[in-house]
């Protein structure tokens, strides 16, 4: 049972790719920490009121998944050690390696008005992870590069100042590590996509989910087959249904092969609707009681601080801060 750390930004609403690529693989093991990374959400323009709402609903989702029992759920900004370690790691990370991060290249590079935080963001993420001495970081494919940077930073730090940090491994699901947009299966599904039909939100009603899947872009031809290169749209739906039902993509493809896209999409819609309904209902019940959410986050904060405090003290001493 490896100790894990992972985080999710409360920027916008949580979509199916977050669930399949990340949340579903977060296990409620003792010693594991799951964090709503609200400070990361400040790296791009934000609305304070929306941030508050999204932070609560994201926390409610993690709690509804049972991650507050066994493991711990907390808000990044509640544990000040994250920001302090981030400064120290800002002085360990290098301009060149941060400039190579694909997420920065696609969102920030060349934009004179992008925030500095968007550039240094991976070092705040490294701080999140390294404060908790964890072995594993369960994330979607798009975060692999950031976890690898975290490893490089930890190793550089350890070789210069002594063995302070545990060097973590990324853990990425074999199927579902990269869920694609329903409107363009060559792009990943993303919270920040302005087209509501490109993504399924975990808060979507049964009807809305079904409608979005029925209108998902599929490929030419009419045979249902798993072939991510030639049939990216169909393959994406097959991966979604497979991860949520536990049935292999091959078995699903065989079942729907000659029945046409309509019947196939109805089948996928049913799987997604059934998988998300109980979770949505739990989240709604929790959101009706914000004080209970805050109470549970307070328990998480205390547990996180118990790990983060001594870790940061060790770092401070190692680097020569009095």
Catalytic positions, please?
A: 107, 188, 191
- Tell the residue number behind the tokens 């599904």, with chain if given: 189
Sketch the per residue contact string, 135 through 154, with ligand TRP: x for CB under 6 A, - otherwise.
Answer: --x-x---x--x--------
Q: What is the DSSP letter of 5?
A: E
With CB under 6 A as the contact rule, the residue among 3, 4, 13, 17 that binds ligand AMP is: 17
Q: Is 33 left (phi over 0), alpha (psi -120 to 50) or beta?
A: beta
Q: In this structure, what DSSP letter does residue 180 have?
A: B
- Contact yes or no for 287/49 (Cβ under 8 A): no
One DSSP character per residue, 84-132 reads HHHHHHHTTS-HHHHHT-HHHHHHTTT-TTS-HHHHHHHHHHHHHHHTT
Residues 122-161 within binding reach of ligand AMP (CB under 6 A): 139-140, 142-143
Which of ligand AMP, ligand TRP, none interacts with 5 (beta carbon under 5 to 8 A by kind)? ligand TRP
Residues 232, 180: Cα–Cα separation, whole Å: 9
Nearest alpha-carbon partner for 277 in 203, 208, 227: 203
- The listed partner (ligand TRP, ligand AMP, none) that binds 129, CB under 5 to 8 Å by sort, is ligand TRP
Position among 3, 5, 13, 22 found at the interface with ligand AMP (CB under 6 A): 22
Q: With respect to ligand TRP, which residue has the nearer C-beta, 132 or 261?
A: 132
- Nearer to ligand AMP by C-beta: 43 or 218? 43
Residue 6 as a binder of ligand TRP (CB under 6 A): the answer is: yes
* Least distance (Å) between residue 130 CB and ligand TRP: 10
Token pair of 279 as six digits: 């979770």
Determine which residue in the list 189, 238, 273, 276 makes contact with ligand AMP, applying CB under 6 A.
Answer: 189
Q: How far apart are the first and last CA of the chain?
A: 37
Number of residues that bind ligand TRP (CB under 6 A): 14
Would you put residue 196 in left (φ > 0), alpha (ψ -120 to 50) or beta?
alpha
Residue corresponding to tokens 């030419």 = 220
Q: How far is CA 17 from CA 21, 45, 173, 244, 289, in A?
A: 6, 22, 12, 12, 27
Site for ligand TRP in 18-47 (CB under 6 A): 37, 40
125 binds, among ligand AMP, ligand TRP, none (CB under 5 to 8 A by kind): ligand TRP
Nearer to ligand AMP, 198 or 218 (CB): 198
Applying CB under 6 A, among 18, 55, 127, 242 the residue interacting with ligand AMP is 18
By CB under 6 A, name the binding residues for ligand AMP. 8-9, 17-18, 20-22, 139-140, 142-143, 177-179, 188-191
By CB under 6 A, name the binding residues for ligand TRP. 5-9, 37, 40, 125, 128-129, 137, 139, 143, 146
């Amino acid at each position: 049972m490896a100790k894990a750390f992972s985080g999710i930004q409360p920027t916008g609403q949580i979509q199916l790719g977050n669930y399949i690529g990340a949340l579903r693989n977060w296990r409620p093991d003792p010693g594991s920490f799951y964090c709503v990374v609200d400070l990361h959400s400040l790296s791009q323009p934000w609305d304070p009121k929306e941030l508050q709402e999204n932070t609560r609903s994201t926390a409610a989702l993690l709690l509804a998944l049972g991650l507050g029992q066994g493991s711990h759920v907390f808000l990044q900004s509640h544990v000040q050690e994250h920001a302090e370690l981030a400064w120290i790691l800002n002085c360990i990370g290098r301009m060149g390696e941060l400039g190579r991060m694909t997420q920065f290249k696609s969102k920030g590079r060349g934009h004179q008005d992008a925030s500095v935080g968007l550039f240094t963001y991976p070092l705040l993420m490294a701080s999140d992870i390294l404060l908790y001495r964890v072995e594993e970081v369960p994330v979607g494919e798009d975060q692999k590069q950031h976890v690898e940077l975290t490893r490089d930073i930890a190793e550089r730090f350890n070789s210069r100042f002594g063995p302070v940090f545990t060097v973590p491994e990324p853990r990425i699901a074999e199927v579902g590590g990269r869920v694609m947009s329903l409107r363009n299966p060559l792009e990943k599904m993303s919270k920040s996509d302005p087209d509501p039909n490109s993504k399924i939100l975990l808060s979507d009603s049964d009807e809305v989910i079904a409608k979005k899947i029925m209108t998902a872009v599929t490929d030419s031809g009419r045979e249902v087959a798993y072939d991510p290169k030639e049939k990216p749209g169909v393959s994406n739906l097959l991966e979604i249904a497979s991860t949520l039902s536990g049935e292999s993509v091959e078995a699903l493809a065989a079942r729907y092969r000659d029945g046409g896209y309509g019947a196939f999409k109805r089948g996928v819609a049913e799987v997604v609707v059934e998988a998300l309904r109980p979770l949505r209902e739990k989240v709604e019940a929790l959101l009706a009681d914000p004080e209970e959410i805050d109470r549970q986050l307070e328990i998480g904060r205390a547990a996180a601080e118990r790990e983060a405090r001594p870790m940061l003290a060790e770092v401070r001493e190692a680097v020569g801060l009095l």
